[in-house]
Chain A
């Protein structure tokens, strides 16, 4: 059994278990949390190194050969996502050293964070549909718990809405799995990819029903209009470290599932891809319009998540095209965008935490003057904010350019116009935050707990280091974009063409 393939699941699982065993000792829990996340990051890098040229690692668990057993299958896309999950987990764990209050730690914050990372990495490394469902549930229950930990009124209310809608999404997924299993007698992704086209001619309605149910389920998880209304009320209520990891990872797991399942497992359905294009474009616009209307920093960022998801879904929807080159461009653009956005979004939420720490509030009306008082924070905000808006030479520019290029190649001028317009509005929104919180003079009534007593400075490095590291990543992707763009292209190639080959290897 190939150990490396199992590590993405084994590392967070062990960290969660050890964290639970270390329950009465918060310092040990914190250490385990940070080490576990870094371990996941290292695993991801090792996997990247193995899959960088396009190889696919797999391992069948329990000795059952494919397609009867559960296969773990990690290709370049999976390795990339696992690495990002480890990086975001590490950023959250380090931030949580300082930002999470004692009560939440006592309630088991660190093991829950590892549980979340477990669900996420499991989803990225599995090759079986039902296993994907199980990892989604692990991720979901951990996120429910993380969100409602501490049980303030706002968190309970936001959390309840989030819980109900995501449960509904899981049920749709489960029903679709029932259809698929009934037809194909197996839920292995590569097996389905090979056999579904033939099954589609026998039972076209069943395949379409399963495909549609999966589609809706993933759209709900990803946060696409009109299924995204659970996101803006819930993400802003979470503590900084939790919101950062949610914003970076959770919706992207939905997008990953969309790309993986509808891009390589289910037979192509032009109807679904067309719907994805339309809904993605609507999400782009409506998300950013929602953001422009807000005055709370975290609410603005939450709406921006929706808008950026729109870009990824549009790039995925370009699979509607008949030409393989365009399809490849679309998927590659989506992968590049996911990579860029995970880093930038987590970074922005962590910067938001720093703004609250130093400026005293998340409310833009009460903030001000941070450029003068803390110019380094202004710089740390500028990097991810300008990247989100797509300003060259930062990572967002290359990601947006890739999406626009793919849309042009597919002959979709409306999509190009909408994407460019949404980008402008994103820039406007980021400038508003800059103006209100950093540029202008502080308003008369500065929030009471602004600034720093010397005892507050003590653990502040834990808030700053992750932000700096993530900003450096964004700068790296921006200035040395070529390897990342090429990798995204290779990942798209592997995703779109490998399934038929994998079956021969597996058998």
Chain B
């Protein structure tokens, strides 16, 4: 299971990096999303997420059964997912506004040129 997760992470990082180097802004966004998933999976896998036992204390016992998954790493992943989602939402709107401002979604449109803010 851990091996499968490792392969999955590798595929996500590869695909994400490839998309990140693309010319199209939405593709770039997807690249970031995939890399974010990869990072979350790293935390999850290295935190022992591949183990089968749920981290819940069984009835009548006062400690977790052996072979349980680590709840802390899952909590970390949850936080990271939420933060990533907020960033994704912001980026999506930002890129949409860029498209409205420049007329296309090409990364080259982001070149600074001679624009200056009005400094107000």
Residues in chain A within 8 A of chain B (CB atoms): 99-101, 130, 133-134, 137, 140-141, 144-145, 148, 151-161, 163-164, 167-168, 170-171, 174-175, 177-179, 181-183, 185, 187, 232-233, 236-240, 296, 298, 352-353, 356, 362
The verdict on A240 contacting B120 (CB below 8 Å), with A163-B94, A181-B46 known, is yes
- Is B102's CB within 8 Å of the partner chain A? yes
Partner among A130, A140, A168, A353 whose Cβ is within 8 Å of the Cβ of B119: A353
Partner among B40, B47, B83, B115 whose Cβ is within 8 Å of the Cβ of A153: B115
Q: Provide the bound-state CA to CA distance between A358 and B99, in Å.
A: 35
A152-B118, A298-B119 given; 17 more Cβ-contact pairs under 8 Å: A99-B120, A130-B76, A141-B90, A144-B90, A145-B90, A152-B117, A156-B98, A157-B115, A164-B28, A171-B35, A171-B38, A181-B46, A181-B73, A185-B72, A232-B112, A240-B119, A356-B119
**B98–A175 CB distance below 8 A:** no
The verdict on A157 contacting B90 (CB below 8 Å), with A99-B120, A168-B20 known, is no
Residues in chain B within 8 A of chain A (CB atoms): 20, 25, 28, 32, 35-36, 38-40, 42-48, 70, 72-73, 76, 79-80, 83, 86-87, 90-91, 94-95, 97-98, 101-102, 109-113, 115-120
**A174–B91 CB distance below 8 A:** no
Partner among B46, B97, B118, B119 whose Cβ is within 8 Å of the Cβ of A182: B46
CB distance from B4 to the nearest CB of A (A): 17
Chain B residue nearest to A355 (CB atoms) is B119
The verdict on A237 contacting B117 (CB below 8 Å), with A178-B39, A178-B46 known, is yes
- Secondary structure type dominating chain A contacts: helix
Chain B residue nearest to A130 (CB atoms) is B76
Q: Provide the bound-state CA to CA distance between A203 and B86, in Å.
A: 34
Q: Provide the bound-state CA to CA distance between A130 and B60, in Å.
A: 34
**A157–B119 CB distance below 8 A:** no
Q: Which residues of B contact A154 (CB under 8 A)?
A: 115-117
**A168–B32 CB distance below 8 A:** yes
Q: Which residues of B contact A183 (CB under 8 A)?
A: 46
